[in-house]
Copies of this chain bind each other. A is one copy, B any other.
């Protein structure tokens, strides 16, 4: 690249755009589907059902402890696919870049996307780059969409929770939100807090190797565990009871949350899942999860109830309180 900053002409569609695409994107993501360089990717299917999802990423700062916007953009879409029981396969990547953004930072983000895609076993097959003038966007936004294939005997949905089902969380909560907030605000704690940002498809495939009969999988990102449990309760027309004492929370995250006045139940996670599974298989699923590096701190945190149709928390001191969906905005640009 001749310039070390992104120029408006990098988004022109002309010669300089082609250079950017070739030198930064194709060189990092190279694969036969992408390398055709047509305006669309083409791939074969086997007649399985398809899962399709999208998310835009506007996280600030774009580099944070445990990850960056590129890793997040791959993990987030891989995880949304995995939460349907799909095997994630193909990703698109759309970049909106502010004029003047350092080319080296873009390279670093793209490298991180490439490494994360490799870990997750997905291929980035199509993309797009737009550049807007200084001040019309903040540094870098990335959209990823993804396609995966689902076995026909899998039927996982937020609407499938049934009274008696057990609720499993795959590990500690609140790590991502607190890590990003600390970096953003320049806070330092005795123990560094690292985002949990990770692709969860291998964990899900291990869980499905125990039984295909998993009812719900959700990744508790924006709005945290509290909000997604409320979504599931609504979609399934059921209630949920969780035990505060079973919630895995790192000491450092607990301390920082108290200091900052946040409830970890509402803080975003980027490498965790909530699973709702039949009571009979809960222990064997849990055991299998704990053997995966992204599930080693998994815990059963509660169960689905028929009434009341709310999310309830049994507190450490023995009381019960209603856990509502997040109201207002907690942490803008957390993902």
Q: Which of B9, B159, B235, B324 contacts A328 (CB 8 A)?
A: B9
> When chains A and B are docked, how far (Å) is the Cα of A47 from the Cα of B81?
20
> Is there an interface contact between B40 and A81, defined as CB atoms closer than 8 Å?
yes
- A211-228 interface mask toward B, CB cutoff 8 Å, 1 = contact, 0 = none? 000000011011100010
A residues 83-136 in Cβ contact with B at 8 Å = 83-84, 86, 90, 92-96, 125-128, 130-133, 135-136
Closest to A223 in B: B13
Given A14-B223, A137-B137, A145:B54 Cβ within 8 A:
yes
Q: Which of B44, B48, B158, B223 contacts A37 (CB 8 A)?
A: B158
> Is there an interface contact between B222 and A327, defined as CB atoms closer than 8 Å?
no
A residues 143-161 in Cβ contact with B at 8 Å = 143, 145, 147, 150, 157-159
A194 in the interface (beta carbon within 8 A):
no
A residues 56-81 in Cβ contact with B at 8 Å = 56-58, 60, 80-81
> Is there an interface contact between A39 and B326, defined as CB atoms closer than 8 Å?
no
> When chains A and B are docked, how far (Å) is the Cα of A126 from the Cα of B51?
10
Closest to A12 in B: B329
A294 contacts which chain B residues (CB < 8 A)?
A: none
A330 contacts which chain B residues (CB < 8 A)?
A: 12, 14
A237 in the interface (beta carbon within 8 A):
no
Given A86-B40, A136-B137, A329-B11, A96:B45 Cβ within 8 A:
no
- A231-242 interface mask toward B, CB cutoff 8 Å, 1 = contact, 0 = none? 100010000000
A49 in the interface (beta carbon within 8 A):
yes
A251 in the interface (beta carbon within 8 A):
no
> When chains A and B are docked, how far (Å) is the Cα of A128 from the Cα of B56?
7
How close is A256's CB to chain B, nearest CB, in angstroms? 20
> Is there an interface contact between A126 and B53, defined as CB atoms closer than 8 Å?
yes
Closest to A135 in B: B135
> Is there an interface contact between A96 and B141, defined as CB atoms closer than 8 Å?
yes
> Is there an interface contact between B327 and A15, defined as CB atoms closer than 8 Å?
yes
How close is A88's CB to chain B, nearest CB, in angstroms? 10
Closest to A132 in B: B58
A95 contacts which chain B residues (CB < 8 A)?
A: 56
> When chains A and B are docked, how far (Å) is the Cα of A46 from the Cα of B128?
28
A contact residues, range = 35 or more
A291 in the interface (beta carbon within 8 A):
no
Closest to A154 in B: B42
How close is A109's CB to chain B, nearest CB, in angstroms? 16
- A304-330 interface mask toward B, CB cutoff 8 Å, 1 = contact, 0 = none? 000000000000000000001111111
A52 in the interface (beta carbon within 8 A):
yes
A250 in the interface (beta carbon within 8 A):
no
> Is there an interface contact between B42 and A50, defined as CB atoms closer than 8 Å?
yes
How close is A334's CB to chain B, nearest CB, in angstroms? 9
Closest to A44 in B: B49
A191 in the interface (beta carbon within 8 A):
no
Q: Which of B157, B219, B268, B326 contacts A15 (CB 8 A)?
A: B326
> When chains A and B are docked, how far (Å) is the Cα of A268 from the Cα of B18?
16
How close is A199's CB to chain B, nearest CB, in angstroms? 15
> Is there an interface contact between B50 and A45, defined as CB atoms closer than 8 Å?
yes
- Identify 5 residue pairs between A and B in the complex whose beta-carbon atoms are under 8 Å apart, listed by A's number: A13-B268, A37-B158, A38-B84, A39-B53, A40-B51
